[in-house]
């Protein structure tokens, strides 16, 4: 637990010659500044440090030793950006009367100027800056019994104007803000490093574009993460964060999101409701977007991250998903290309089969929509053997490049169709593994005929599978046959083309490959344990 650092101030002026000559009885008594009366919390809700902006400051004095100089630390809620653990005052020493002098932090650039703190009474301090770079100002700090009298700051209404949340308390176990309801963010909200936002039961944030211009930028640092959590540490305590606005400023970076998933964060018109911690939503014609990097989503009652079809996952990298009851990520096929090779979908414990409901990337959409791949994409092998799981079939209408070592597993009866169409680019499959890192296309259950098999209708000469494993297909016919791979002619379109080399094709409920028309090369591939022929013509 971090603590607000102490100010250690020399306060006792004594006669330095007492052991040599003694003190002159006629000399005035030495000035004694009782700095111990500063112990505790002081606040000011009208800080004039930032030009026209006025904000809120908390100063925590902890006097533990009066024999040496020291510092006091503080944070503000104004655009001076004085955030933990920058010292607000430093090098303070006792002066005449009830004052002490030193340096005060006057600007966000770290400029310190001469400052005088004068104890007016036990409950009031005047703070006076005297600087060449500013208009001299006097500020007043008032004593409060404890930080709990003024913190956390309660947020109980929509955010309708540009707002910044600042790190007020350095201790990450104490929230700076508490959100008490489900609120809309209708303007730009910036959250500074180290901020802790706690949500009461079923509370949450919708960053909305509906009749508004909402956006959220939460960028922490490696040492000062931003935390979104519940007021109770219980999975599914608060609702989560929903991004409905397509604003490039929507960013979660160096963030922890914990204990969300109470109420559905996404609800489809079909009645399907999804719980999750973070969602990029398509709502009322507005399609959300988000960049999420170096962020941990944990202890969700539901999915870690939900990405709906029609939205945009701008950036995704080095994220971690821990103890979420559903899949680490649920995403539409067109956004899968944003997924990186280094994110942790196991919750750090692959040897225990991970900690999420599914430790990988679930490819899915609403039950009433088609989520086709319409932009060229690269799917990397996921860290430590995590898999892509196809829960809902999709069409490929662009170039899909699958990297060595990737594992794509299909739910019952599902498939991927590489399309040919006059009005769209060719769907192209490039799956080039290596002998040591083959690419695997398999079923969630290792049973012949569990999934339909890959369907190639495109005549792209780039369609190629090298060092792949294709297994357990054949749930439904392709070109009239059950098979792991179907090279199928689509109506009046040109005949398809596929090269399958150095691959293993096995455990089909029918043929290894069904070939209806076009070009097929399967040199160097092996077939085993298929119910039907290796290749059915």
Q: What is the DSSP string of 79-122?
A: TT---TT-EEEEEEEE-STTEEEEEEE-STT--EEEEEEEEEET
Q: What is the DSSP string of 7-20?
A: P----B---TTTTT
Residue 229 host element (H or E): strand 226-230
Q: What is the pLDDT of residues 127-185, one digit of tens each?
A: 887 776 666 567 788 887 666 667 788 999 999 999 988 887 777 888 989 999 999 99
Joined tokens for residue 111:
């400029």
Q: What is the pLDDT of residue 174?
A: 86
pTM of the model: 0.83
**Burial level of 317, CB count in 10 A (0-12/13-18/19+)?**
middle
Asked, for residue 296, whether it belongs to a domain, the answer is yes
Please report where in the chains the tokens 């096995």 appear, as a residue. 506
Parts of the chain with a pLDDT under 50: 1-24, 29-32, 48-54, 66-70, 76-83, 108
Does residue 264 form part of some domain? yes
Domain termination residue (choose one: 129, 146, 163): 146
Burial of 29 (0-12, 13-18, 19+ CB in 10 A): exposed
**pLDDT number for residue 67:** 47
Q: Name residues whose C-beta falls within 8 Å of residue 468's C-beta, 6 or more positions apart in sequence.
A: 431, 433, 438, 439, 440, 441, 500, 503, 504
Same domain? For 304 and 334 the reply is: yes
Candidates 378, 438, 436, 429; CA nearest to 404 is 438
Among candidate residues 86, 121, 146, the one where a domain is terminated: 146
In a 3-state reduction of DSSP, which class is residue 497?
strand
Within 10 A of 123 (CB to CB), how many other CB atoms are there?
Answer: 12
Contact 288, 311 (CB under 8 A): yes
Specify whether the CB–CB gap between 55 and 76 falls below 8 A.
yes
Same domain? 357 vs 453: no
| 184-230 tens-digit pLDDT | 999 999 998 899 999 999 999 999 987 778 999 999 999 899 999 99
d(CA 246, CA 286): 7
Residue 5 within a domain? no
Q: Phi and psi for 128 in degrees, rounded to 5?
A: -120, 120
Q: Which of 146, 175, 194 is at the close of a domain?
A: 146
Q: Centre a 10 Å sphere on the Cβ of residue 124 and count the other Cβ atoms it contains.
A: 13
Same domain, 349 and 426: no
What DSSP state is assigned to residue 343? -
> Are 321 and 405 within one domain?
no
Q: Is the dihedral of CA 380, 384, 390, 391 positive or negative?
A: negative
> Within 13 Å, how many C-alpha atoms sit on residue 300's CB side?
37
Q: Same domain, yes or no, for 284 and 303?
A: yes
Burial of 4 (0-12, 13-18, 19+ CB in 10 A): buried
348 and 323 in a single domain? The answer is: yes
Evaluate whether residue 451 is within a structural domain. yes
**Quick one: 91 and 43 in the same domain?**
yes
Query: 257 and 182, same structural domain?
Result: yes
Q: Which two tokens stand for residue 414?
A: 């599902």
Domain ranges, residue 156: 151-372
In a domain, 162, yes or no: yes
Same domain as 292, residue 212: yes
| Strand runs labelled E in 382-452 | 387-390, 394-396, 399-402, 407-410, 416-418, 428-432, 439-443
**Closest by alpha carbon to 75, among 199, 227, 192, 198?**
192
For residues 335 and 223, state if they share a domain.
yes
Are 501 and 521 within 8 A, CB to CB? yes
Residue 387 lies in a domain: no
Per the DSSP assignment, residues forming a β-bridge with 320 are 296, 344
Question: Do 74 and 215 fall into the same domain?
Answer: no
Residue 354 belongs to a domain? yes
Q: Are residues 240 and 326 in the same domain?
A: yes
- Specify the number of domains making up the chain: 3
Q: Specify if 27 maps to a domain.
A: no
Report the CATH number at residue 86. Answer: 2.40.128
Handedness of CA 269, 297, 220, 90 (dihedral sign): positive
Supply the pLDDT for residue 267. 79
Q: Point out which residues pair with 503 in neighbouring strands.
A: none
């Amino acid at each position: 637990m971090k603590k607000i650092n102490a100010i250690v101030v020399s306060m006792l002026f004594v006669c330095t010659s007492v052991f040599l000559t003694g003190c002159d009885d006629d000399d005035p008594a030495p000035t004694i500044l009782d700095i111990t009366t500063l112990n505790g919390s002081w606040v000011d809700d009208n800080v004039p440090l930032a030009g026209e902006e006025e904000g809120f400051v908390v100063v925590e004095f902890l006097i533990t030793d009066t024999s040496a100089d020291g510092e006091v630390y503080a944070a503000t809620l104004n655009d001076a950006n004085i955030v933990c653990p920058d010292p607000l005052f430093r090098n303070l020493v006792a002066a005449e009367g009830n004052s002490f002098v030193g340096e005060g932090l006057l600007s966000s650039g770290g400029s310190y100027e001469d400052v005088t703190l004068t104890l007016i009474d036990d409950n009031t301090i005047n703070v006076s800056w005297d600087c060449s770079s500013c208009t001299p100002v006097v500020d007043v700090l008032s004593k409060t019994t404890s930080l709990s009298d003024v913190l956390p700051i309660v947020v109980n209404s929509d955010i309708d104007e540009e707002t910044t949340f600042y790190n007020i308390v350095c201790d990450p176990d104490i929230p700076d803000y508490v959100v008490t309801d489900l609120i809309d963010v209708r303007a730009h909200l910036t959250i500074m490093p180290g901020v802790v936002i706690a949500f009461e039961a079923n509370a949450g944030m919708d960053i909305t574009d509906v009749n508004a211009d909402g956006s959220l930028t939460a960028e922490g640092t490696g040492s000062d993460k931003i935390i979104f959590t519940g007021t109770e540490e219980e999975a599914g305590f608060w609702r989560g964060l929903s991004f409905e606005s397509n604003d490039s400023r929507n960013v979660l970076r160096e963030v922890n999101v914990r204990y969300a998933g109470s109420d559905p964060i996404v609800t489809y018109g079909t009645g399907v409701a999804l719980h999750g911690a973070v969602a990029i939503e398509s709502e009322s014609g507005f399609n959300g977007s988000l960049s999420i990097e170096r962020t941990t989503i944990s202890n969700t009652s539901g999915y870690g991250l939900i990405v709906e079809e029609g939205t945009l996952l701008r950036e995704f990298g080095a994220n971690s998903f821990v103890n979420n009851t559903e899949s680490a990520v649920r995403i539409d096929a067109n956004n899968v290309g944003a997924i990186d090779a280094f994110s942790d979908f196991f919750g750090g414990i692959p040897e225990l089969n991970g900690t999420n409901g599914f430790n990988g990337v679930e490819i899915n959409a609403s039950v009433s929509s088609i989520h086709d791949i319409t932009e060229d994409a690269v799917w990397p092998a996921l860290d430590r053997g995590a898999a892509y799981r196809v829960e809902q079939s999709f069409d490929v209408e662009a170039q899909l490049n699958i990297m060595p070592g990737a594992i794509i597993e299909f739910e019952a009866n599902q498939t991927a169709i590489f399309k040919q169409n006059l009005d769209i680019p060719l769907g192209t499959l490039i799956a080039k593994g290596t002998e040591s890192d083959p690419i695997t296309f398999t079923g969630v259950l290792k049973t012949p005929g569990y999934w339909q098999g890959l369907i190639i209708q495109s005549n792209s000469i780039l369609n190629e599978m090298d060092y792949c494993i294709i297994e357990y297909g054949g749930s439904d016919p392709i070109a009239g046959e059950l098979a792991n791979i179907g090279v199928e002619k689509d109506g009046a379109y040109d005949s398809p083309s596929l090269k399958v080399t150095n691959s293993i094709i096995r455990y089909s409920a029918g043929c290894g490959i069904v070939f209806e028309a076009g070009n097929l090369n399967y040199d160097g591939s092996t077939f085993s344990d298929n119910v039907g022929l290796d290749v059915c013509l």
